[in-house]
Structure 1
Amino acid sequence: MIVSNVSLSGCAGVNSALCAGAGEGHLGGGSHRTTLSPTGNLVVAVCLGFIGTFGLVNNLLVLVLFCRYKMLRSPINLLLVNISISDLLVCVLGTPFSFAASTQGRWLIGAGGCVWYGFANSLFGIVSLISLAVLSYERYSTMMAPTEADPSNYRKTSLGIALTWVYSFVWTLPPLLGWSHYGPEGPGTTCSVDWTAKTANNVSYIICLFVFCLIVPFLVIVFCYGKLLCAIRQVSGINASMSRKREQRVLFMVVIMVICYLLCWLPYGIMALLATFGPPGLVTPEASIIPSVLAKTSTVINPVIYVFMNKQFYRCFQALLHCETPQRGSSLKSSSKAATKAMRGVAVNGPRRTNDLLFMVASLGQPAATLPQLGPSYEPTIDITKAPSSDIKPVVVSLVAHFDG
């Protein structure tokens, strides 16, 4: 007998995986057949195979680079490692089971395995989502801070990482305790929260999950990166060509991040809401498998966007391939640092200090003969040829350095 997730919606208040066991094809017996055709199962299996393989390789490579090269061991890069760890756990503890189920056309590890799969994948997926929000806030707060960021201070980042895991655990534990439940999803080759049950218990949980684990992280990401882009535009007059290039690069990165976030997770969220609030059968098992596969592609996309498009990681990756020492940052990175100082001057020290910093940044990288001559009455606040005084701390780059390298 073919049992789909839609047919389980009548089992209110009981785990849908166990409800399926009432029929001839129950999960515990390993004969829970799917509604997909053999060709459909094959296509899904191929997609999951690629996702699992490339996700595993990409995220393992991130961890290897971080462990091998000390120059990558900074607090903000630790957040990138946390994202890679959560994505890697999905590839190891989640994707192989759904891949095997798709190849055989049925769920293979029983009702208990279905509950465990739903919990583990929800936990790791939400950790990845919240980590992206924490990363955006960390970049924003570090660049806007009036004092120098300590590259050896991991306390704030460690608290952020702990927050991601605790927050995710808080929202994935309730289905194990009776607030909603985990069960078969779509055609029966994956498991997740039961989106189709119409009970108040289930609907209230899904609304909270959608708001606090999808919408809130997205709003944090858009706000933080939006504010950073505005800050970059404020220093566009420092060096017109350099600033335009930097601004376009950061804008491109931000747009790619937001688009990929929405591409991976928004279809899944919409599918869940339609299954929850729409009429029974509105979301067919065949249609629901597509958002599920898209959500899993985040394990492949995250390392590419957040790591391999980062020049610092990319230099280390090239060094690993050629068995050589990675090159340090370029002059563009130094200019980015100076630009970040100027942006902080706008926010902290007011117009007078800003003018001095703008002159300092505009003068960087130019021969002495080309520097503009200042009148005798002009006394620069900061002499860039000398070490900074104790009361004016240099500030390392955060956003721009981490985008540019």
Structure 2
Amino acid sequence: MKNRHQEFQEDFYIPIALDTNNITSLSPFLVPQDHLGGSGIFMAMTAFMFFLFVCGTAINVLTIVCTIQYKKLRSHLNYILVNLAVANLLVSSIGSFTAFVSFLKRYFIFGTAGCKIEGFTSTLGGMVSLWSLAVVAFERWLVICKPVGNFSFKGTHAIIGCALTWFCALLASVPPLFGWSRYIPEGLQCSCGPDWYTTNNKYNNESYVMFLFCFCFGFPLSVIIFCYGQLLFTLKSAAKAQADSASTQKAEREVTKMVVVMVFGFLVCWMPYASFALWVVFNRGQPFDLRLATIPSCLCKASTVYNPVIYVFMNKQFRSCMMKLIFCGKSPFGDDEDTSTSSQVTQVSSVGPEK
């Protein structure tokens, strides 16, 4: 019968530079990972994960509560923002909290089962969040650019969009639970994610990484760039046709800024993780610092904070309701805050040149 140490050898990765005859002496499930960094690094990561846990949970809970509290927020176009908040809440309440406790202890104290749970939930929530950003872009392209004419976006379409994000996320996050790749500690070994370090043919990690890159990064990014590119083109056409309209010019500037921030936020969140994973896959045998994997992992978890800021707080209607909820019904904004940027853009595009 395998003893406890032997069982753990199948569930973590030790780079060649740190290999020893007694590999379990470095197990992230058994001992503090002091060989990977000093106490200052672990304390800094503990503080950062605590910040993500508290702020990420608070912001996303506030988004959900606001939608329940204010009927005017329960529009079809806002369903996907609530869906994004639910996904972010899953990551912050489980992924960030687990990482916070583990960084505090300097090793993953929840064991192999906890690693699989944390890795799965963080990947699931992250993928739902990622696909939600693509669906938001697609929705705005349909409503504002009108590629299929006067398309009427209904509740059924919003529900289908939300369901699609969870379906695609499950396709990406379930396989490691059944042998296509696996969930193991990553970076400083205090949080878990898919195994893209090893070349063990038993898990086919390379094919899984390529699947994630193409299906869960390349395709959504293409959708986002195409849809927002078309959106900007439509707005510029409308602004050119109404050069004397100050409101049209203002709407174009606001939406241009919003689109740039959205695309930039997506790239900051996912580009480092995708690039690092691909580099490791295509440079097998090349030495790399395992601790560097902590950086892209943290950026992904940080999206639970800055995604709501971009997608919710830049929506004037959501922002106004949040301020009213926080300040007990007294919004610090004026009445014009009830009109969202998306509504302004829709009005501008609707009077643009006919196609």
TM-score (norm 1): 0.76
Paired residue total: 333
- Give the percent of matched residue pairs that are identical in Structure 1 and Structure 2: 33
> How far apart are the structure 2 equivalents of 1:229 and 1:176?
41
Show CA shifts across 1:21-55 (max 9, x none). 96235455x32635121111111111111111111
Question: 7, 10, 21: which is aligned to 2:14?
Answer: 7
> How far apart are the structure 1 equivalents of 2:178 and 2:190?
24
Note closer, same or farther for the CA distance 1:21–1:72 as it changes in structure 2 (3 Å cut): farther
Note closer, same or farther for the CA distance 1:21–1:184 as it changes in structure 2 (3 Å cut): farther
Secondary structure of 1:309 counterpart = coil
Q: Which residue of 2 aligns with 1:346?
A: 354
Q: Which residue of 1 aligns with 2:55?
A: 54
Whose helix fraction is larger, Structure 1's or Structure 2's? Answer: 2
2:290 paired with 1:303: no
Name which one, 1 or 2, has greater alpha-carbon Rg: 1
Listed as ranges, the matches of 1:196-235 within 5 Å are 196-199=197-200, 201-235=204-238
Q: Which residue of 1 aligns with 2:120?
A: 119
The amino acid of 2:354's aligned partner reads V
> How far apart are the structure 1 equivalents of 2:291 and 2:211?
26
> How far apart are the structure 1 equivalents of 2:350 and 2:111?
58
**Unaligned runs of at least 5 residues, structure 2:** none
TM-score (norm 2): 0.86
Q: Which residue of 1 aligns with 2:282?
A: 277
Greater shift in the superposed pair: 34-43 or 201-210: 34-43
Note closer, same or farther for the CA distance 1:21–1:259 as it changes in structure 2 (3 Å cut): farther
Note closer, same or farther for the CA distance 1:331–1:154 as it changes in structure 2 (3 Å cut): closer
> How far apart are the structure 2 equivalents of 1:87 and 1:243?
34
Show CA shifts across 1:276-310 (max 9, x none). 22244633122111111111110000111101111
Listed as ranges, the matches of 1:254-403 within 5 Å are 254-280=259-285, 282-324=287-329, 327=335, 329=338, 336-343=345-352, 346-347=354-355
The amino acid of 2:219's aligned partner reads V
Secondary structure of 1:159 counterpart = helix
Note closer, same or farther for the CA distance 1:342–1:188 as it changes in structure 2 (3 Å cut): same
Q: Which residue of 1 aligns with 2:255?
A: 250
Secondary structure of 2:25 counterpart = coil
RMSD: 2.7
Q: Which residue of 1 aligns with 2:70?
A: 69
> How far apart are the structure 2 equivalents of 1:93 and 1:101?
12
Note closer, same or farther for the CA distance 1:266–1:21 as it changes in structure 2 (3 Å cut): farther
> How far apart are the structure 1 equivalents of 2:293 and 2:143?
40
Secondary structure of 1:184 counterpart = strand
> How far apart are the structure 1 equivalents of 2:343 and 2:231?
18
Cα deviation, residue 175, structure 1? 1.2
Secondary structure of 1:183 counterpart = strand
Listed as ranges, the matches of 1:61-140 within 5 Å are 61-140=62-141
Secondary structure of 1:191 counterpart = strand
Secondary structure of 1:167 counterpart = helix
Cα deviation, residue 94, structure 1? 1.1
Q: Which residue of 2 aligns with 1:45?
A: 46
Q: Which residue of 2 aligns with 1:402?
A: none
> How far apart are the structure 1 equivalents of 2:344 and 2:270?
36
Secondary structure of 2:150 counterpart = coil
Cα deviation, residue 323, structure 1? 3.0
> How far apart are the structure 1 equivalents of 2:159 and 2:340?
31
**Unaligned runs of at least 5 residues, structure 1:** 10-19, 348-405
> How far apart are the structure 2 equivalents of 1:21 and 1:57?
43
The amino acid of 2:297's aligned partner reads S
> How far apart are the structure 2 equivalents of 1:330 and 1:57?
24
Cα deviation, residue 93, structure 1? 1.2
